[in-house]
Amino acid sequence: MSATEARSAYVGSPVKRREDEALLTGRGTFVDNMAPPGTVCMVVVRSPHAHARVTSVDLAAAREAEGVVAAFSAADLRDEWKAPMPCAWPVTEEMKSPDHYPLTDVPCYQGDGVAVVLAESLSQAQDAAELVEVDYEPLDVVADVEKALDEGAPLVHRELGTNECYVWRLDTDATGQAIDDAEVVVTRSYYQPRLIPNALEPRAVLAVPGTTGDVTLYSATQVPHILRLLSAACLGLHETKLRVVAPDVGGGFGSKLDVYAEEFLAIALARRLGTPVKWTEARTENYLATIHGRDVVTEYTLGATKDGAITHCRARVKAAMGAYLQLVTPGIPLLGAWIYAGPYAIPNYSVEFTGVFTNTTPTDAYRGAGRPEATYVIERTIDALADELEMDRVELRRKNFITEFPATIGSGLTIDSGDYVASLDRLLEVLDLDSVRAEQAKRRDNGTVTQLGVGFSTYNEMCGLAPSRILGAIRYAAGGWDTATIRCLPTGSVQVVTGTSPHGQGHETAWAQIVADQLGCDMDAVEVLHGDTSISSIGMDTYGSRSLPVGGVALYNAAAKVIDKARQIVAHQLEVSPDDLDFADGTFTVKGSPDKEATLASVAFGAWAAHDLPDGMEPGLEATAVYDPPNFSWPAGAHAAVVEVDTETGDARLIRYVAVDDVGTVVNPLIVDGQVHGGITQGIAAALYEEGTYDEDGNLQTANLLSYLAPSAAELPSFELERTESPSPTNPLGVKGVGETGTIAAAPAVINAVLDALSHLGVKDIQMPATPERVWRAIQEAKA
Ligand code: MCN
């Protein structure tokens, strides 16, 4: 065992999350619970119109109301903004990007902010906001992603002259020759509806002004580092004058990977008024003014030989941007752009994305971001191709799997490792497909009202965002590295500072597992600090299932540096060569003289006291590592859903869900299971329940939890989870990300199962979510 190899006492063990006791006993620290003296509450007055020109804002009555401290219109605050709200991913040079400010006098979606009111209490601010009189001149609206591209459609931003934001292509078959030559071609169109993230804790911000023009911003954010950088730029502040703290954050699922108007407003107004300013989102505001996901139309084609070798895939994607470009809006569809061939060896590859403005809430990252969109169309179309070829759906998948790794795929990237056949085999074993098919056949023969269906989804994905040079090549403004510092304190305790920013993923536990194994100490001795830019001053935060494959590897490398420095110190003190030292379980021993030893804790004390260090060595036992991954992380797996469909009412119920995932080496199986549970649930939600809809006037029809059906545990069976393990050769931990796998895989498995249950009735397509009404209509149409 080399000095830096983990001894695997904690890594791989289902250690309970150290975060949970405080959270489960109500002792978490959430932004809305904070109330420094003098805090005033902010309420944003939002446009009821999806598109309008504000002709006047009368704040007089609001300003007179009890408890009101101040009220401002967009015009009042214009000088606060030194730059528009940022979009960090201009995906093409020609991309159209409208100016976007925290308040506007031309609201472009329902919920766009037009004024703010600040009062001593929240209820006073809410009451006063009702007194703000805004006159609107309504403008024409387009809320539908396809209609927005029609000739003569209303323009979301007249000054841009078009609703087309960008067109982006990746084409290895520009002539379409492979499709022309294919013996069998299947083309299908799909709409993947708008999804509205529902974090347990809504967004919340508290800006506290300091005495030197500085501000501390507490925010329920996934990205304190990015938030500090971009707020400073937008407000014209030195970055050093802004401290951003993400305390306990109750989930985000991508929606808090953003910088929002309310964050900029709170900072600007705290500075202006000299008092802390707090804003907490109401649930309906969450629906209106926090980013949404998906809203994508895709035409997808597979070309194959008659015996089922897939030769070509082609995707034409129209993706709604909503009314503005938030932090990474235009790049989200592209996050799937390299995996439209899925886990299959398809040589010819062609994808084209059109970003489209509509008068709707901006879209951005929502769990899976771009990859669920790709997996859905591939896995639906694979089933259609199998039917066309009269081949078994599972066997068509198996026949086309990539089997040799590393594998350079049609889109040009290289998948580091995997064993897709192993995951599928294990799935079939756990599922016991023969008995499911036997029960299905029995019900079909009997004409039972409740029919049975089984659906598959074999997927791979790219996460672990990301190699910086690739991000640069695709025009993303930042890098994809991350950082960690490990500080051995003189008492033998260990402080870890990470650039990641957990908001439900359990990094405090998993990071302590990794470090304790490497340094050979007790997990309880390891403290993990994060989410405060004054403690962790640089970092790239948490999203894109990157924290373990990037931040966790930085941690591993920092621990290796600490051990190296300690080795130099021990070698000096024991008067041996560093190469003569072994390190295991936190102790250095001299090869051949096991009685000569030094513990890492004693070295930490010696390095702190600094009485006897090698010449020129700095005191202290501490190291920082910055890790830029050489490749993405490539998890994969095979999922199956079994559903019962009531053919009279259209009610589709999931009765089994089996998932076999391969996320490389697993640090904490308990956390990984939890991540997969949550991810699958969000995929099932898209398949059967959730859909954000607008009417033609751009009114959000699903603006609360009564009309937007987020499922609970009661709607779901117990998931049957299994794993195969293909360690990643690109990082020393062998890990791949897991945060999004379930969401990426689940939706097509469920819809394929619903269609399988009804295939004997002639039903070939049902749009997500497969609500009872949609299923019932599909059955009636097939009968007609
Ligand atoms: N892990 C592990 N072994 C692996 C892979 C991961 O033990 N081989 C553990 C990690 O140590 C970490 C957790 O699983 O504790 C997730 O790791 P990773 O896949 O690196 O993902 P991130 O930590 O970067 O989290 C982001 C990811 C994303 S993109 C979304 S969206 C999402 C998700 O995590 N949002 C979540 N999971 C969420 N979970 C909660 N509770 N709340 C959210 O908002």
Least Cα distance to 306 among 184, 162, 460, 466 occurs for 184
**In 174-198, which positions are buried (b, 16+ CB within 10 angstroms) versus exposed (e)?**
eeeebbeebebbbebebebbbbbbb
- Predicted confidence (pLDDT) at residue 566 exceeds the cutoff of 70: yes
**In 322-350, which positions are buried (b, 16+ CB within 10 angstroms) versus exposed (e)?**
bbbbbbbbbbbbbbbbbbbbbbbbbebbb
Ligand 1 pocket residues where CB is under 6 Å: 251-254, 367, 503-507, 510, 542-549, 663-668, 671-672, 675, 678, 735-740
Atom number in ligand 1 closest to CA 366: 31
Ligand 1: distance of its center to the CA of 67 in Å?
A: 43
Q: Is 129 in contact with 514 (CB distance < 8 Å)?
A: no
Ligand 1: distance of its center to the CA of 148 in Å?
A: 36
Do strands 494-498 and 526-529 pair parallel, antiparallel, or not at all (unpaired)?
parallel
Least Cα distance to 336 among 348, 324, 320, 352 occurs for 352
Mean pLDDT to the nearest integer, 262-274: 98
Ligand 1 pocket test target in 13, 23, 545, 665 with most atoms within 8 Å of CB: 545
- At residue 648, the pLDDT reads 98
> Which tokens in the block code for residue 34?
């904070």
Q: Is 360 in contact with 50 (CB distance < 8 Å)?
A: yes
Q: Is 218 in contact with 208 (CB distance < 8 Å)?
A: yes
pLDDT digits 0-9 by tens, 11-33: 999 999 999 999 999 999 999 99
Mean pLDDT to the nearest integer, 615-622: 98
pLDDT digits 0-9 by tens, 516-535: 999 999 999 999 999 999 99
Q: Is 308 in contact with 382 (CB distance < 8 Å)?
A: no
Give the integer Cα–Cα distance in Å for 273 and 215.
12
Alpha helices in 106-151 (DSSP H): 122-130
Atom number in ligand 1 closest to CA 506: 15
- Predicted confidence (pLDDT) at residue 383 exceeds the cutoff of 70: yes
Q: Is 364 in contact with 332 (CB distance < 8 Å)?
A: yes
Computed from CA positions of residues 616, 618, 620, 622, in that sequence, does the dihedral angle turn out positive or negative?
negative
Q: Please, is 273 exposed, middle or buried when counting C-beta atoms within 10 Å of its C-beta (0-12, 13-18, 19+)?
A: middle
Q: What angle do CA 502, 475, 244 make, to 5 degrees?
A: 30
- Predicted confidence (pLDDT) at residue 4 exceeds the cutoff of 80: no
- At residue 178, the pLDDT reads 80
- At residue 1, the pLDDT reads 39
Give the integer Cα–Cα distance in Å for 157 and 96.
10
> Which tokens in the block code for residue 324?
């503005």
Mean pLDDT to the nearest integer, 137-141: 98
pLDDT digits 0-9 by tens, 681-738: 999 999 999 999 999 999 999 999 999 999 999 999 999 999 999 999 999 999 999 9
- State the DSSP H helix or E strand holding residue 186, giving kind and residue range, or none if neither: strand 184-195
Give the integer Cα–Cα distance in Å for 686 and 680.
10
Give the integer Cα–Cα distance in Å for 701 and 695.
7
Mean pLDDT to the nearest integer, 540-561: 98
- At residue 426, the pLDDT reads 98
- Predicted confidence (pLDDT) at residue 311 exceeds the cutoff of 90: yes
Do strands 277-280 and 204-209 pair parallel, antiparallel, or not at all (unpaired)?
antiparallel
Integer CA distances (angstroms), 210 to 14, 113, 277, in order: 43, 27, 12
The DSSP bridge partners found for residue 171 are 350
For the chain, the straight-line distance linking the first and the last C-alpha, in angstroms and rounded, comes to: 70
For the chain, the farthest-separated pair of C-alpha atoms sits apart, in whole angstroms, at 90
SS3 2: coil
Q: HSE, CB side, 13 Å, CA atoms: give it for residue 542.
A: 28
pLDDT digits 0-9 by tens, 76-135: 999 999 999 999 999 999 999 999 999 999 999 999 999 999 999 999 999 999 999 999
Residue with tokens 């009890």: 66
Least Cα distance to 230 among 278, 266, 281, 264 occurs for 264
Q: Is 302 in contact with 385 (CB distance < 8 Å)?
A: yes
Mean pLDDT to the nearest integer, 45-54: 98
Question: DSSP strand E in 691-742: where?
Answer: 719-723
- Predicted confidence (pLDDT) at residue 472 exceeds the cutoff of 80: yes
Atom number in ligand 1 closest to CA 663: 8
Mean pLDDT to the nearest integer, 292-300: 98
Ligand 1: distance of its center to the CA of 312 in Å?
A: 33
Atom number in ligand 1 closest to CA 510: 11
Ligand 1: distance of its center to the CA of 250 in Å?
A: 14
Ligand 1 pocket test target in 513, 675, 677 with most atoms within 8 Å of CB: 675
- At residue 3, the pLDDT reads 41
Q: Is 324 in contact with 386 (CB distance < 8 Å)?
A: no
Q: Whose CA is nearest to atom 10 of ligand 1?
A: 548
- Predicted confidence (pLDDT) at residue 772 exceeds the cutoff of 50: yes
SS3 319: strand
| CA 148 to chain centroid | 27
- Predicted confidence (pLDDT) at residue 331 exceeds the cutoff of 70: yes
Q: Which residue has the higher pLDDT, 177 or 240?
A: 240
Ligand 1 pocket test target in 738, 741, 744 with most atoms within 8 Å of CB: 738
Residue with tokens 């895939």: 313
Ligand 1: distance of its center to the CA of 549 in Å?
A: 10
Q: Is 206 in contact with 34 (CB distance < 8 Å)?
A: yes
Helix then strand count (H, E) for the chain reads 19, 27
- At residue 177, the pLDDT reads 80
Ligand 1: distance of its center to the CA of 505 in Å?
A: 5
Ligand 1: distance of its center to the CA of 156 in Å?
A: 36
Q: What percent of the chain is modeled with pLDDT above 70?
A: 99
- Predicted confidence (pLDDT) at residue 264 exceeds the cutoff of 80: yes
Alpha helices in 520-641 (DSSP H): 553-574, 600-609
- State the DSSP H helix or E strand holding residue 60, giving kind and residue range, or none if neither: helix 60-64
Over the chain, what is the mean pLDDT?
97
Query: What 8-state DSSP symbol labels residue 153?
Result: P
- At residue 385, the pLDDT reads 98
pLDDT digits 0-9 by tens, 181-194: 899 999 999 999 99
- Predicted confidence (pLDDT) at residue 174 exceeds the cutoff of 70: no
pTM for the model: 0.97
What number of other Cβ atoms are within 10 A of residue 233's Cβ?
A: 14
Give the integer Cα–Cα distance in Å for 542 and 719.
26
Give the integer Cα–Cα distance in Å for 197 and 159.
31
Ligand 1: distance of its center to the CA of 494 in Å?
A: 23
SS3 104: coil
Ligand 1: distance of its center to the CA of 504 in Å?
A: 8
- At residue 594, the pLDDT reads 82
